[in-house]
Amino acid sequence: MSGDVIDLLPDGVVVADGQGRVVLLSAPAGRMLGVRADDVVGKPLGDVLALTDQDGNGWVAGNAPYGGLATRTAVPEQAWLLPDGTEVLVAARLHRRERLGPVDRVVISMRSGRGRERLDRERSDLVATVAHELRSPLTGVKGFVHALLDKWDKLNDDQKRLMLGTVVADADRLSRLIVELLDVARIDTGRLQLHRRGCDLDRITERVVESVAQSTSRPIRVEDDGPPPIHADPDKVTQVVTNLVENAILHGDGEVVVRIGPAGEPGYAELVVSDEGEGIPPALRRRAFTKFWSASAGGGSGLGLYIVNGLVRAHGGTVTIEDRPGGGAVVTATWPVV
């Protein structure tokens, strides 16, 4: 029965006795090592566990699970190579019948290294994206500050005002990127705090549209169908509305339409933002809610829709993307009502 259960585990498991001979090998471990359990039971662990490091050293010889200090209880997770060159992450537990006694059982787990490779790639993407996004405004701030310091007496008031305004805009961009990264970290770790209360979606939307309209020449039209009061964190709702409207301006063309009203599903209100751009193909819509994804080269950190999706879902709502008749994208976010 134990063998049947261990075969259901996603990780490969190898168990050896106190004499260093294999007593159990799960089916996933057999597939990784290219052997059958019936053929290897009773054989030396070093012969069965055909794992090597970059220098060709074996796992058993490199970790000496039966030697070393009598206080050892485990071998930490390490990256090793299978015979076909695939990387696996290997960890082991050293069991002793008595404290400080000899090792009675060695239980080894093996899991694919693809997850770690994907995580490493995501971390590399994070570092590269953050470095790029930070470098651009920092370069502007540094350049204008140096110009002001070196040529203060030669610049007139209008030139100084223009440079200082640019510095302030770049500093605001840096602050917003930092806030976005903090939101991403809170969403990823489940530490997002929501202070829910009854709030008016129409008032929040109108304030956001008035603020965004001051920094763009694109027309923004609000269609208010009388949404019921929603039960949400007003600061997070403001952030979602701002991200969706600014995203529509950044990646779309023509007029941006923001509609608010009751949702088709009872107990929810909806916010619908549509643009007249190229839209997002259906095959790419799931990727639109991932980190650092962008539909165009129009700029931005690529975190907007990821944060929108995380904030809305944390409230119990949904976010969907559809085509706009005549071209463009329609993003719909729903919120639970009071």
Kindly indicate the confidence band of residue 3, based on its pLDDT and cuts at 50, 70 and 90. low
Kindly indicate the confidence band of residue 1, based on its pLDDT and cuts at 50, 70 and 90. very low
> What CA–CA distances, in Å, run from 310 to 180, 205, 304?
12, 19, 10
pLDDT of residue 323: 87
Tokens of 267: 């107990």
Is residue 2 predicted with pLDDT exceeding 60? no
Is residue 108 predicted with pLDDT exceeding 90? yes
User: Who's near 16: CB < 8 A, 6+ residues apart?
Assistant: 22, 23, 45, 65, 105, 106, 108
Name which of 58-67, 183-192, 283-292, 306-315 the model is least confident about.
Answer: 283-292
Closest residue by Cα to residue 276 from 220, 217, 333: 220
Confirm if 270 and 241 have CB atoms less than 8 A apart: no
pLDDT, average across residues 19-42 = 92
pLDDT, average across residues 87-91 = 90
The rounded distance, in Å, linking the Cα atoms of 124 and 292 is: 12
Domains along the sequence of the chain with CATH? 2-112 (3.30.450.20), 116-189 (1.10.287.130), 197-336 (3.30.565.10)
3-state secondary structure of 39: helix
Is residue 118 predicted with pLDDT exceeding 80? no
pLDDT, average across residues 281-298 = 71
Helix or strand (DSSP H, E) at 268: strand 268-274
Is residue 297 predicted with pLDDT exceeding 60? no
pLDDT of residue 134: 77
Q: Look up the pTM and report it.
A: 0.60
Name which of 2-6, 8-12, 55-59, 99-103 the model is least confident about.
Answer: 2-6
Identify the residue with better confidence: 125 or 259. Answer: 259
- Percent of the chain whose pLDDT exceeds 90: 45
Kindly indicate the confidence band of residue 15, based on its pLDDT and cuts at 50, 70 and 90. very high
pLDDT of residue 83: 86
pLDDT of residue 299: 52
pLDDT digits (tens, 9 = 90+) for 260-272: 999 988 899 999 9
Task: Tell me the Cα Rg of the chain.
Answer: 29
